[in-house]
Copies of this chain bind each other. A is one copy, B any other.
Amino acid sequence: MEARRHPTIRDVATRAGVSKSLVSLALQGSSRVSETSREAILAAADELGYRPNASARNLGSARSRTIGIFLLDLHNPITADFVDAVRAEARARDYRTILVVGSDDAAAEYAELEKLLEFRVEGMIALGHRLPVRARRVISAGFPAIIVSSEHPRVPHLASIANDDVAGAQMAVDHLVGLGHRRIAHVTGGSNAVAQRRQAGYEAAMRRHRLARQIRCHVGAFSDVGGHAGMLDALSRRPRPTAVFVCSDFAAVGAMAAATQLGLRIPEDLSIIGYDGTNLSALPTLGLSTIAQPIAGMGTLATQLLAAHLDDGLPPPRSTLVEPQLVARSTTSAPPRPG
């Protein structure tokens, strides 16, 4: 309780018998400090349990070497992978990070953003499709920011990194066609931009494989309930599809349940492939084939671009697409009867 004052750089200096300036230099790892002094200083710091005060450091120096991570949804499992990647890369480049989480409550979300600015972060990396209005204003005013998202919001000075949804959807279709499927249906994710791009990729690939007449889109959603409904619709048509590309992993879980309820075995009677590569799909008991977004890679890339901008003044590219990856597991196989 009685938290006695933290030792300061001056306490260390007194103990080591040098000036505070030399302590500062030594702790920064300057090469102009003699071996003798350095050792004495480090020893003194250790004995006193000295810990630098981040506030004082940030005040005194022009740069905070801190970047803010703005997250939309802590519940989404890909968030964790993303954060891990950003943090690792930031650490490697000697930046520290502050995490901040959006919220349904606009006031709370704004408070979080304020916090980022009050801590004088040098730049920000955001994950998610949405960006608070005030954030847009700050970014437009020249605050360095990179958004990792499928959308590219029309905000001046904002760079974006996105997964190539169109290409990913095509990979899903290519995979199914490669297994021998022809009647391939698609359960969509609704009318948002992401869902539309995935649908466009599906349709383009089908046409490319000369399967334009087999194109069947069934309205669903990114939730498991939506996938369930979309799948029931898909399976009500005759002849039934032998494979279904579902808009997301979460929706695919619902879709699998629907197929199982109708007595279909997966993958013997019906192949199913999802999208996102969440760790939900990796559950051994599900074994869902999916198109994985390289979320960690996107985090790393975002950090590299931001750091390059801050350190060398390189302007980050306005918009970058990264390639998704096919992960074939046990929900896709050859169709029941060839053809």
Contact = CB atoms under 8 A, between A and B. Distances in A.
Contact of A142 (B1, B81, B87, B108): B1
Interface in A104-123: 108, 111, 114-115, 117-120
Contact of A117 (B51, B141, B143, B253): B51
A326 interface: no
A57, A81, A119 — most chain B CB neighbours (10 Å): A119
A33 interface: no
B54 A119 contact: yes
A253 B283 contact: yes
A24 to B, nearest CB: 15
A257 B279 contact: no
The size bracket of the interface on A is 35 or more
A75 interface: yes
Contacts of A59: 53, 55-56, 59
B115 A54 contact: yes
A108 B91 contact: yes
Given A253-B283, A257-B285, A118 B74 contact: no
A6 B63 CA distance: 13
Given A108-B91, A225-B284, A77 B75 contact: yes
B1 A313 contact: yes
Interface string A254-298: 101100000000000000000000010001110000000000000
Given A83-B74, A91-B111, A55 B120 contact: yes
A56 B61 CA distance: 12
A84 interface: yes
A311 to B, nearest CB: 12
A75 B115 contact: no
A100 B83 CA distance: 11
Nearest to A310: B1
Interface string A75-98: 101011101100110010000101
A104 to B, nearest CB: 10
Given A59-B59, A79-B74, A279-B75, A51 B114 contact: yes
A195 B3 CA distance: 37
A303 to B, nearest CB: 15
B101 A87 contact: yes
Interface of A: 1-3, 6, 49, 51-59, 64, 73-75, 77, 79-81, 83-84, 87-88, 91, 96, 98-101, 108, 111, 114-115, 117-120, 141-144, 224-225, 228, 253-254, 256-257, 279, 283-285, 313, 315
